[in-house]
Amino acid sequence: MSSSRRPKRLALLGATGSVGGQVGDLVLRHPDRFALHSLIGGHDANALKLVAQAHPEAHVLLAEPAGGDRSAAASAVERVLTDPEVDLVVVAVSGSAALPPTLAALRAGKDIALATKEVLVMAGDLVREEMRRHGSQIFPIDSEHSAIWQCLWGERREAVRRLILTGSGGPFLRRPLSTLSGVTVAEALAHPRWKMGPKITVDSATMMNKGLEILEAHVLFDVAYQDIDVLVHPQSVVHSMVQFTDGSIKAQLGVPDMHLPIAVALSYPERVPDVVPAPDLGAIGQLTFEALDEQRFPAVALARAAGERGGSAPAVLNAANEQAVALFLEGRIGFTDIVALVRRALAEAPAAGSMSLDSLLSADRWARARVLELAGEGSQRTSSKVRT
């Protein structure tokens, strides 16, 4: 990298989270490459203040200030993200609250490094349309999609036969099926390979995360659902693969550390040196792969079916899952209730109308309310963070 070039200025949405913290690390380690233009948190002012101490140059704001005016806060967030000084917007919010600010940034022609898969699951067509109209790009942060993206560099689209997403199988890969209904919150949050925020960690335990990733891959790489497979790979060293028409398979390998895919997205098309040590394959010895057990992990087929159904079904899947995971984390439903509630909400979801932002948000609200009713929690209390 030439020393005369100024650092890339990042607006970071989700600054206090697991991915957000690792973005902050990379900025501190590489001040010649990256600078923080702004740090945006959700509701936790103290956590944001702590993060801001390490980045005194950044603008700091909360998207959901306690007792504050949410629509004024949303406008302030949009103003910051669309500031001409911002070179790249990093979206690392947990869940669909990321959708409105992501659409605003795309409309301003900003490129986005995207961790929040829920945005693509919920509103893939809308996001693709805004990218096309405004010439903005999305660089994936999710490790599987980063792997596929890297495997596709320099390849022709017609040469791609299928995508193979790998997943560790989470903490319950070998646990007796009959005991899954008794899984505790602490057990679901103990992921064997990755340290992540609570929502994605529970999604990894149900493997809904892999289901959401199928929909994410479909949107990002424009590959049909039937050409996206899942393989269980407990070591989490092969982050995903692409099979080509000639029978070749390309894979990307790395230690399970999110700093690497984050650095790839932030620095594209360059690579940052020495982000993490390369995996010591001799010491690891064996990399194993196994077919997905659909009885153990029914969320994957459920998500794929919602993707194939299209319309508002992916938004219903996503919102029902967010609400059910929130209920599980609060100890109000059991572990196996999560996927059961999502399945019921999907089965009952009204047929989709036009896929405008309004209709997607209304499908999102309907699904959250329905999950609460089904769980016996009443319709007045939802975890919706999506502003209308």
Ligand X SMILES: NC(=O)c1ccc[n+]([C@@H]2O[C@H](COP(=O)([O-])OP(=O)(O)OC[C@H]3O[C@@H](n4cnc5c(N)ncnc54)[C@H](OP(=O)(O)O)[C@@H]3O)[C@@H](O)[C@H]2O)c1
Nearer to ligand X, 43 or 344 (CB): 43
**Closest distance of CB 49 from ligand X, Å:** 11
**Closest distance of CB 51 from ligand X, Å:** 9
**Closest distance of CB 272 from ligand X, Å:** 18
Please tell me whether residue 75 adopts helix, strand or coil conformation.
helix
Q: How is residue 280 annotated by DSSP?
A: -
Nearer to ligand X, 258 or 371 (CB): 258
Please tell me whether residue 226 adopts helix, strand or coil conformation.
helix
**Closest distance of CB 44 from ligand X, Å:** 3
CA distance 364 to 314: 9
Nearer to ligand X, 21 or 298 (CB): 21
Nearer to ligand X, 15 or 367 (CB): 15
Contact yes or no for 300/214 (Cβ under 8 A): yes
**Closest distance of CB 15 from ligand X, Å:** 6
Q: Which of 4, 75, 71, 87 is CA-nearest to residue 38?
A: 87
Q: Note the residues at the interface with ligand X (CB under 6 A).
A: 13-20, 40-44, 47, 63-64, 92-94, 97, 115-118, 142, 194, 196-197, 199-200, 258, 385
CA distance 84 to 73: 19
- Kindly report the backbone phi and psi dihedral angles of residue 169, in degrees, each rounded to the nearest multiple of 5, phi listed first: 95, -10
Nearer to ligand X, 62 or 302 (CB): 62
**Closest distance of CB 245 from ligand X, Å:** 29
Cis amide prior to 234 (ω within 30 degrees): no
| CA triple 387-21-87, angle to 5 deg | 70
CA distance 172 to 190: 10
Nearer to ligand X, 78 or 293 (CB): 78
